[in-house]
Amino acid sequence: MTDSLTGELWRGIADIYDAILAHPFLTGLTDGTLPHEAFAYYVMQDALFLQQYANALAAVGSRAPDPAGTEMFARHAADAIAVERELHGTLLTDLGVDPAAAAAATPAPANLAYTSYLLATARGGSYAEGVGALLPCYWIYWEVGRELVLRGSPDPRYQRWIDLYGGEEFGAVVRDVLAVTDKLGPGLAPAERALVHRHFQTTSRYEWMFWDMGYRMETWPV
């Protein structure tokens, strides 16, 4: 029996995922030591990210080979905007962030690089390449969420974030995308399969960079 495409992909980022779990942003969520300013900065950047992620989801959905794929990614694009408005709005209020400051935020370097890569791949690559590039944001967040749920957090604001991504509702969404990815596997020629691996690995690295950006409250150098 041949291995699933998702199994191949995950094995290819084992070291990246280990580095993500060990990052002080995530360990700080569970032990409560992450500064609130860093978390607020991350949430503001994530709101900006989700706006562009929704655009990438819609672009990939428009290239799906079947109506079910188009509908799924379109629905996920709408859901990404809903999360940005609801969860982030509540979290930023609880963290004491001025709405005007949140509205005036601009993408940090890592954020802009990540979303630019996603959009370029979603619009310029094949459907399978787009799925491969989008998948880490789904899958890694779910795996991280499930791990952090086991650890918990003494800060209710951090716990709310953990519960969202470690919960069954989000897990069901991720499983749908994993199933779509695995269906693509048998039809991929070696060259396209290699590209899917490359995009998956690259955006997995961007996931690490995004949490690192939040921890450092990254700014432009000039």
What are the residue numbers of the active site?
Answer: 137, 207
CB 150 within 8 A of CB 83: no
Coil, strand, or helix at residue 143? helix
The closest of 138, 158, 157 to 148, measured between CA atoms, is 158
Cβ atoms < 10 Å from Cβ of 33: 11
**CA 104 from chain center: how many Å?**
22
For tokens 């959905």, the residue is 61
Question: Buried (b) or exposed (e) across 100-130, using 16+ Cβ within 10 A?
Answer: eebeeeebbebbbebbebbbebbeebbbbbb
Size of the chain, expressed as the number of residues it contains: 222
